[in-house]
Structure 1
């Protein structure tokens, strides 16, 4: 049986400890990344929405890196939005900068009414590359 191995990026433990969850779980060659938000250093939401989205993706990159993966290893991307219609253009602009060019991961966007004070969250499943 494959064991769950928690993964944490350096210096990003305020929210994980406060809400009692792992940044990601490695299981075999798969990485299941918990929802990443655009938090400031103290764990509070970044007030500027575009910056909050960028910080969420920056935090995602840090978690992937802690497991030896990159954005190119993402298989499944899910984003959560508190006001999808009003936020979509901003999210797309940031997402386009983050992912650049095809091939893109598959993507599901979900409208929600609560994200613990945040307005955007991103979670992924990635395949961790084999090391030689």
Structure 2
């Protein structure tokens, strides 16, 4: 079996150890990032929705940075929402402020769900690793 090439951001939150998963895995030229949530350092949800989305995106940014990547390296995005019709405008506003990517934008699928372990927003991505000389 091939060893997984795990990536963790500095100051990783408690959820990785508590639930036994890696922030991201490098494989075959891609970085597969686990769902990132707006967690406080102890792993609990940020109660304010807008701040929760911002924290999720900042956690994503830190995970990408640990692999030497930025938001512009993302090729596929999946987001999960507990109340998409009422949350989507806020998500877009925060995304535009924090991610600020340029066209062409990554592919994006938004999924409504009823449960995110106490969170209201989650984002997972696949990014292309940069080629090294």
- The answer, yes or no, to whether TM exceeds 0.5 is yes
Q: Where does structure 1 lack aligned partners over 5 or more consecutive residues?
A: none
Task: List runs of 5+ in structure 2 lacking aligned partners.
Answer: none
Q: Give the equivalent residue in structure 2 for 1:39.
A: 39
| Cα distance in 2, alignment partners of residues 37 and 17 from structure 1 | 15
Secondary structure of 2:98's aligned partner = helix
2:67 corresponds in structure 1 to 67
TM-score normalised by structure 2 residue count = 0.94
Moved >2 Å (runs of 4+): 1-4, 98-101
Counting matched residue pairs gives: 132
Distance 2:93 2:129 in 1: 27
Q: How does 1:84-95 map to 2 (within 5 A)?
A: 84-95=84-95
Q: Given the two structures, how large is their TM-score scaled by the length of structure 1? A: 0.95
| Maintained 8 Å contact 1:75/1:126 | yes
Match of 2:113 in 1: 112
Distance 1:131 1:19 in 2: 33
Offset of residue 98 of structure 1: 2.7
1:13 is displaced (CA, Å) by 3.7
Aligned mates of 1:93, 1:75 — CA distance in 2 = 20
Deviation at 1:3, TM superposition (A): 4.8
Structure-2 residue corresponding to 1:96: 96
For the 8 Å contact 2:13–2:42, the answer to whether it is kept is no
